[in-house]
Amino acid sequence: VDLHARKRLAFALATAMIAVAAGTGAGVAAVQAATSRSIAVGVPTDPVLVRPGEASELPIRVINPGATAVTVMVKGEGIRLGNDGHVALTGRPDPEWSTRASFPAGELTIQPQSYVNVTVTVHVPAHLPPNLYFIGFVVTPVASGSGVVQINQIASFVTINLAGPRTRSLTATVEGPQGWHIGTFVLGSKVTGTLVVRNTGRTAVQFWGENNVTSLFRSDPVEQRIPVSLVPAGRYREFRLSGAGWLPVDIVTLGVSVTYPGRTAVSTRQILITRSYWVVAPWAILAFLVLVALLAAWWALPHRQHSRSTSRGRVGRPATDRLWVKSRSRW
């Protein structure tokens, strides 16, 4: 056992010496870099149901997927929800939740390949109206190293659902078509557009929907799903719509439905939008033009031959020839 221990120690010393040599070499390159750091944060996927006037516990998991221990701090911070799912930090505590959400104080050290469950206690005010609320927080590693220090932090949020009836209001529009088009005439094999769902109410809304694409020559719809999506009050979300023609020349209809809960979750509202477009493939136009040219050639060729043969047979009578051709042209 002692022999094995000595061998391991000798190997470790040798490795350390190589590292020092390498470090000296790196010094020539004038760049010294420290170790890597990896952190992960897990939050509930669905909104956590809370009740007004009660305290609720929100589970957050801070994970260290790396090979070295990481020390982090978790603190509440305001977030700003933008359009299309974008979230940004406000850079200061959330005025609505900073005194109502308790985050763990101090630093948390997470061992490699381990995690720490953090419980955030939220005291929901009794007067708060039913809605979805977002409790923002930042997990920041404690800085290490010297020189230019780099920090990789994760800002996230937990969504809480204050149960109760609420007024939800959405509008939906289909914008487009995109690409080369004149009105509803689209040059291409498919039509593309954008579904814009705007929240015109005062509460966040979760909606879902679909785009059923049918065409003049195909009645069974091709379904394009719009997943359950959240749109905060005053924001919008965009979804790309697309529908292909069944034949090179076709009328494609986009049948869009957006569904969202009514005042309570047991009822739903639906917005239906139908748009039809002429979709013409460029090669179909080209083929049409070629066909027209061929038809024209087919029509013109016999007459030209006929006119040549006529002109050859009537040498010395050009005036009459011209008259004949002229009369044929009129015909």
Partner 1 sequence: VSLRSIKRKLRAASRVSSMTALVFVIVVGMCAALTESVLAAGTLTKISWSVSNNAAGATGVNYSYSFTTATSGTIGLVVFTVSGGTLSGTPTIAANYGIGAGSVAEVGNTITYTVTTPVTVAAGIPVLLEFGGNTNMAAGAYTTAIKTETSAAVAIDGPTNSQSLTFAATSTAETIVVTQSLTFTLNNTAFTLTMDPSLASLADQTNVSTLTVLTNANSGYTVSVADNTTGLQSSSVGNPTIPDVATAGTYVSWPAAPASASGYTVSGTATIPTGFSGTKYTGLASTAQQIASSGGPTGTTAQSIIVTNQVAIDYATATGTYTDTIVYTVTPNYS
Torsion angle of C-alpha atoms 315, 318, 320, 324, degrees rounded to 10: 100
Give CA–CA dist 261/201, Å, rounded. 13
Q: Please choose, out of 144-152, 175-183, 215-223, 265-273, the segment that lies near partner 1 by the rule CB under 8 A.
A: 144-152
Report in angstroms how near the CB of residue 241 gets to partner 1 at its nearest: 15
Which x/- pattern over 84-113 shows residues binding partner 1 (rule: CB under 8 A)? Answer: xxxxxx-x----------------------
Q: Please choose, out of 61-69, 208-216, 247-255, 258-266, the segment that lies near partner 1 by the rule CB under 8 A.
A: 61-69
Binder of partner 1 out of 8, 9, 20, 32 (CB under 8 A)? 32
Give CA–CA dist 174/169, Å, rounded. 17
Give SS3 for 55: strand
Q: Specify the residue, 109 or 320, whose C-beta has the smaller distance to partner 1.
A: 109
Q: Specify the residue, 72 or 252, whose C-beta has the smaller distance to partner 1.
A: 72
Report in angstroms how near the CB of residue 2 gets to partner 1 at its nearest: 38
Which among 60, 64, 57 is positioned nearest to 75, based on CA atoms?
A: 60
30 binds partner 1, rule: CB under 8 A: yes
Tell me the two tokens of residue 168.
């939800």
Q: Please choose, out of 50-58, 155-163, 182-190, 318-326, the segment that lies near partner 1 by the rule CB under 8 A.
A: 155-163
Name the pairing type of β-strands 185-187 and 268-280. Answer: parallel
Terminal-to-terminal C-alpha distance of the chain = 114
Q: Specify the residue, 24 or 327, whose C-beta has the smaller distance to partner 1.
A: 24
Give CA–CA dist 184/313, Å, rounded. 56
Report in angstroms how near the CB of residue 303 gets to partner 1 at its nearest: 59
Q: Please choose, out of 11-19, 60-68, 117-125, 308-316, the segment that lies near partner 1 by the rule CB under 8 A.
A: 60-68
Report in angstroms how near the CB of residue 156 gets to partner 1 at its nearest: 6
Calculate the alpha carbon distances from 303 to 277, 295, 309 in Å.
Answer: 42, 13, 10
Torsion angle of C-alpha atoms 10, 16, 19, 23, degrees rounded to 10: -140
C-beta of residue 238 within 8 angstroms of C-beta of residue 198 = no
| Cα atoms in the Cβ-side hemisphere of radius 13 Å centred on 201 | 20
227 binds partner 1, rule: CB under 8 A: yes
Residues 196-225 that bind partner 1 (CB under 8 A): none
Q: How many residues make contact with partner 1 (CB under 8 A)?
A: 53
Q: Specify the residue, 83 or 311, whose C-beta has the smaller distance to partner 1.
A: 83
The CB density around residue 75, as the number of other CB atoms within 10 Å, is 14
234 binds partner 1, rule: CB under 8 A: no
Give CA–CA dist 243/211, Å, rounded. 9
Q: Please choose, out of 103-111, 161-169, 226-234, 301-309, the segment that lies near partner 1 by the rule CB under 8 A.
A: 226-234
Binder of partner 1 out of 52, 66, 130, 261 (CB under 8 A)? 66
Residues that bind partner 1 (CB under 8 A): 27, 30-45, 61, 63, 65-66, 79, 81, 84-89, 91, 134, 138, 141, 143-157, 159, 227, 229-230, 232
